[in-house]
Amino acid sequence: MKKQIDNKGLRLFIILGGFFVANALVAEFIGVKIFALENTLGTAPFFGNNEPYMFSAGTLLWPIVFIMTDLINEYYGIRGVRLLSYLTAGLISYAFIMIYLAIRMSPADFWITQNEAQGVKDMQLAFASVFGQSNWIIVGSLIAFLIGQLIDAHVFFRVRKWLGEQKVWLRATLSTVVSQLFDSFIVLYIAFVLGPAKWELSLFFEVGTNNYVYKLLMAILLIPLLYAMRYGIDRFLGEKMAGRLKKEAILME
Question: Is residue 153 a part of any domain in this protein?
Answer: yes
Is 191 a domain residue? yes
SS3 119: coil
Q: Which of 53-67, 85-99, 147-161 has the lowest mean pLDDT?
A: 53-67
pLDDT of 84-141, one tens digit each? 999 999 998 998 899 889 999 999 999 999 999 888 899 999 888 888 766 777 788 8
DSSP label at 165?
Answer: T
Q: Do the domain assignments include residue 115? A: no
What's the average model confidence in pLDDT over 43-55?
74
Within-domain flag for 111: no
- Determine the Cα–Cα distance for residues 9 and 146; give it in Å rounded to an integer: 25
Q: What is the pLDDT of residue 55?
A: 77
Kindly report, residue by residue over 165-190, the tens digit of the pLDDT: 777 888 888 888 888 888 889 888 88
Residues in the chain: 253
Domain containing 85: what range?
6-44+52-105+121-251
Higher-scoring residue by pLDDT: 102, 251:
102
In a domain, 133, yes or no: yes
Q: Is the pTM of this model over 0.85?
A: no
Q: Per the domain annotation, does 113 fall within a domain?
A: no
Residue 84 lies in a domain: yes
Q: What is the CATH number of the domain that holds 56?
A: 1.10.1760
Burial pattern 62-88, b for ≥16 Cβ within 10 A else e, equals bbbbbbbbbbbbbbbbbebbbebbeeb
Domain count, the chain: 1
